[in-house]
Amino acid sequence: MAIELLSTRLANQIAAGEVVERPASVVKELVENSLDANATKIQVDIEKGGSRLLRVRDNGNGVVKSELILALSRHATSKIKNLDDLEAIVSLGFRGEALASISSVSRLTFASKTAQQHEAWQAFAQGRDMAVEITPVAHPQGTTVEVADLFFNTPARRRFLRTEKTEFNHIDELIKRFALSRFDVEFVLKHNDKLLRNLKVATTQAQKERRVAAICSNRFMENALAIAFNEAGDQHNEVTLTGWLGLPQIAKSHSDAQYCYVNGRMMRDKLINHAIRQAYQPYLAEGMVPSYVLYIELDPSQVDVNVHPAKHEVRFHQSRVIHDLIIQVLGSALSQADRNAGGGVESHHSVTTSHGYAHEDLGNSQPDSVRESRDYSSSPMTASYGEPRSQGGSQPQYQQGYSYGASANGPSQGANIAVASDSYQQLMTDSVPLESHHATLFSELDDSQQLLGQPLAFVAPHYLSVLHNDQVKLIALDRLHLLVTHQELLQRWSQGFVGQPLLLPVSIPLDRLLLEQLTHRQQIFRRLGIDISVRDPQIIIKQVPQMLRDKDIATLIPQLLVLLNQQHHLDEQELAPMVCQWLSLQLGGDYNLAYAKSLIARAVILNDSVSAAIDSLMITVDFDRTMAEFTKD
């Protein structure tokens, strides 16, 4: 069979197969064009679910007469000019296929007027020949696109359309998604000349919340946490997460309020959805899904939007960091809500305390996508709180630790939680911050100052300088880590830990003595959330608690069995402190200023449990001896 070039008509209809799936697809492309044209009001008129007529009218910039025919040509666009533009797209549309594809399967009328023109012009094209006719028309500034008789020349495609109600519901859902992404634009939706939505411009926070309530329901807004994460940095590292998170108690088996946006573009991205599910996982019953409205803003050069024909998915250049960031911010807000509500749900994520700190509960270290880059050393069981912990192992590529701030009112009163951070930059680089100005974040944290003093600066490798009782002291962060982690684990012991399935089960050969010890100590492993099956002479590890997922399981489990065997005469209650101490040694911290903050926050929460041992972790700095060096000849 000879190779031939496709005709323009056939090529456009093939493209239409990707772009124009149903009437809602047409509305999506046209509304995106209106938003890219800086429209502040967009009106969408639908007849017969969109199969008879789709009309999108806006008050945007418009198109000049000389470009009307070109606008209906394939691969014609005003939104990108070169490869550099493609690598940092800020517009919603950019491929230049929409109008040409739509006109190839419909009767399309395109009327437009710019502010510079005294008259408006109209272009008309329809499927068969796609010849464009230009005529004058009365029209205000802006553009109106009418798409009549969709799929009139492709009957096979028309037969796949659903009922009028179903097709309109898809369009209605689309308008809701646009309305949540652009509060500065008024949206009007009519169906068969009946006004169904009239969403005015929302400028104040109260107006925005009313629009969200109108779209997601009043129940959602009454049970939502408002988050606001903004990390200042250079243009390539700055990331913003804002929006509203539905509390777990309003979760349903099928949520109709899941909206996510990246740089204003509506998304159904797998990585983002996975991170959101992980953040909510500890708080939802099986089969329940959360509700949320989430906005992610970052430098356009850090995200590739040209990876999906319908632009529903994106690719992040720092996907691991974004994934981890979503889990940390959302997990912190949800954990704070759970604490303020006095809920009994076990928390595994960063927690925003009433003092404005965040700490990482021990049921969770890092998500799967980041764990492979974290490698903490494991110390022998001889260490104690009064002895320095050995510092071995490689440095992690990503640094742990976030600082969050909570609103004055807890979510149990329907108030919002504001989440902020000053440490996202640390995730993007390997530098350790030494600036003492970070200590000003602690100026209002009276409880922490009474317990550990006012932080001044991080001192490598694992010390923090503080102002305590009018003296400058050094805190040994490694010892503080052991103290705090041990107490947290002890408090969690009675409740038990939640295990998470491993991607691939781990097979470990054991000698007869350790196999017998495993059989004897099954209750210990169940409490730790470790699922083990025995296939003599091997054991198969199927799940472990989140805190151990990034560890060398094949080494740690035999170590724990050896420990238990050495203390075979002790019962479970007597073994609990010893096992928790062993776990503390495995959960090393990435010692920097951010992790110091989280340790202090955790110590404040544990106040009564750790206060007696705090003095042994602090040493006064002798400035007299140092200053005397300046007086020498």
pLDDT of 170: 94
Instruction: Answer yes or no: is pLDDT of 624 > 70.
Output: yes
Q: Does this chain's domain 8-199 share its CATH topology with 211-347+396-429? A: no
Q: In what order do the strands lie in the sheet with 531-535?
A: 499-509, 538-545, 531-535
Using one digit for the tens of pLDDT, what is the confidence trace for 328-337?
899 888 888 8
Give the fold, CATH level 3, of 8-199: Heat Shock Protein 90 (3.30.565)
CB 368 within 8 A of CB 503: yes
Higher pLDDT, 405 or 344: 344
pLDDT of 314: 76
For the chain, the structural domain boundaries read: 8-199, 211-347+396-429, 434-633
pLDDT of 96: 54
When mean pLDDT is compared over 76-85, 274-283, 347-356, 376-385, the highest value belongs to 274-283
Residue 597 banded pLDDT, cuts 50, 70, 90: confident
CA distances from 398 to 395, 524, 603 (A): 9, 32, 24
Instruction: Answer yes or no: is pLDDT of 37 > 70.
Output: yes
Mean pLDDT, residues 33-42: 93
CB 86 within 8 A of CB 94: yes
- 10 Å Cβ neighbour count for 37? 19
Instruction: Answer yes or no: is pLDDT of 364 > 50.
Output: no
Specify the CATH number for 211-347+396-429; select among 3.40.50.970, 3.40.390.10, 3.30.230.10, 3.30.450.40: 3.30.230.10
Residue 598 banded pLDDT, cuts 50, 70, 90: confident
pTM of this prediction exceeds 0.95: no
Higher pLDDT, 254 or 77: 254
DSSP-assigned letter for residue 396: P
d(CA 493, CA 362): 11
Q: What percent of the chain has pLDDT over 90?
A: 25
Instruction: Answer yes or no: is pLDDT of 346 > 50.
Output: no
Instruction: Answer yes or no: is pLDDT of 459 > 90.
Output: no
* Range in 250-259, 294-303, 445-454, 567-576 with the lowest mean pLDDT: 445-454
Q: Which residues of 354-385 are buried (b: 16+ CB within 10 A; e: fewer)?
A: ebbbbbbbbbbbbbbbbbeebebebbeeebeb
Instruction: Answer yes or no: is pLDDT of 200 > 80.
Output: yes
Choose among 226, 364, 221, 248: nearest CA to 295.
226
Rg from Cα positions in the chain: 30
Instruction: Evaluate whether the domain defined by 434-633 bears CATH number 3.30.1370.100.
Output: yes
d(CA 381, CA 280): 35
Tokens describing residue 142: 């802006």
Mean pLDDT, residues 429-444: 34
Using one digit for the tens of pLDDT, what is the confidence trace for 480-534?
888 888 888 888 888 888 888 877 788 888 888 888 888 888 888 888 889 888 8
Residue 128 banded pLDDT, cuts 50, 70, 90: low
pLDDT of 290: 93
